Amino acid sequence: MTCAPPCNSASLTLGLETSCDETSAAVLRGRGEIRSLVTAAQDHLHQVFGGVVPEVASRRHLEVITRVVQDALDAAGVGFNDLDLIAVTQGPGLVGSLLVGVSVAKGYSLATGLPLSAVNHLEGHLMSAFLHYPGEEPPAQDLYPTLGLIASGGHSDLVLMQVPGKYRTVGQTRDDAAGEALDKAARLLGLGFPGGPALEKAAQSGDPGAVDFPRPETGHFDFSFSGLKTALVRHLQEHGEPRSEAERADLAASYQQAVVDCLIRGLRRAARNYRVRQLVLGGGVSANQVLRSYFTQLAADLGLPGACPPLSLCTDNAAMIAAAGYRQVSRRGPDSLDFDVFSVLPLTL
Which residues of the shown chain bind ligand KG4 in the complex (CB under 6 A)? 20, 152-154, 179, 182-183, 194-197, 200, 283-285, 287-288, 315-316
The pattern of x and - marking residues 120 through 139 that bind Zn ion according to CB under 5 A reads: --------------------
In the bound complex, what is the minimum distance in angstroms from residue 238's beta carbon to ligand KG4?
26
By a kind-dependent CB cut-off of 5 to 8 A, residue 306 interacts, out of Zn ion, ligand KG4, none, with: none
Pairing of β 85-91 and β 166-171: unpaired
Strands (E) located in 164-291: 166-171, 278-282
Identify any residues that bridge with 278 across adjacent strands, giving them in sequence order.
146
In the bound complex, what is the minimum distance in angstroms from residue 240's beta carbon to Zn ion?
35
Among 152, 156, 288, 328, binds Zn ion (CB under 5 A): 152
Identify any residues that bridge with 280 across adjacent strands, giving them in sequence order.
148, 307
Identify which of residues 76 and 202 has a Cβ nearer to ligand KG4 in the complex.
202
> Quick one: DSSP state of residue 135?
T
By a kind-dependent CB cut-off of 5 to 8 A, residue 183 interacts, out of ligand KG4, Zn ion, none, with: ligand KG4
Identify which of residues 21 and 250 has a Cβ nearer to ligand KG4 in the complex.
21
Identify any residues that bridge with 197 across adjacent strands, giving them in sequence order.
none
Identify which of residues 215 and 277 has a Cβ nearer to ligand KG4 in the complex.
215
Identify which of residues 115 and 196 has a Cβ nearer to ligand KG4 in the complex.
196
By a kind-dependent CB cut-off of 5 to 8 A, residue 325 interacts, out of Zn ion, ligand KG4, none, with: none
Give the binding range for Zn ion (CB under 5 A) out of 23-31, 109-117, 148-156, 207-215. Answer: 148-156
208, amino acid identity: P
Largest distance between two CA atoms of the chain: 64
By a kind-dependent CB cut-off of 5 to 8 A, residue 83 interacts, out of ligand KG4, Zn ion, none, with: none
Q: Are 203 and 252 in contact (CB under 8 A)?
A: yes
In the bound complex, what is the minimum distance in angstroms from residue 22's beta carbon to ligand KG4?
7
Query: Taking the CB of residue 161, how many other CB atoms lie within 10 A of it?
Result: 22
In the bound complex, what is the minimum distance in angstroms from residue 68's beta carbon to ligand KG4?
16
74, amino acid identity: D
By a kind-dependent CB cut-off of 5 to 8 A, residue 285 interacts, out of Zn ion, ligand KG4, none, with: ligand KG4
In the bound complex, what is the minimum distance in angstroms from residue 93's beta carbon to Zn ion?
8
Identify any residues that bridge with 17 across adjacent strands, giving them in sequence order.
24
Sequence-distant (6+) residues with CB within 8 A of 173 are 155, 156, 157, 222, 223, 224, 225
Q: Are 347 and 283 in contact (CB under 8 A)?
A: no
Burial of 100 (0-12, 13-18, 19+ CB in 10 A): buried
By a kind-dependent CB cut-off of 5 to 8 A, residue 258 interacts, out of ligand KG4, Zn ion, none, with: none
In the bound complex, what is the minimum distance in angstroms from residue 318's beta carbon to ligand KG4?
12
Identify which of residues 31 and 184 has a Cβ nearer to ligand KG4 in the complex.
184
Identify which of residues 72 and 320 has a Cβ nearer to Zn ion in the complex.
320
How far apart are alpha carbons 41 and 14 in whole angstroms? 19
Q: Are 325 and 85 in contact (CB under 8 A)?
A: yes
How far apart are alpha carbons 208 and 213 in whole angstroms? 10
> Quick one: DSSP state of residue 321?
H
Instruction: Please tell me whether residue 216 adopts helix, strand or coil conformation.
Output: coil
Among 176, 183, 316, 335, binds Zn ion (CB under 5 A): 316
Identify which of residues 115 and 154 has a Cβ nearer to ligand KG4 in the complex.
154
Q: Tell me which residues touch Zn ion (CB under 5 A).
A: 152, 316
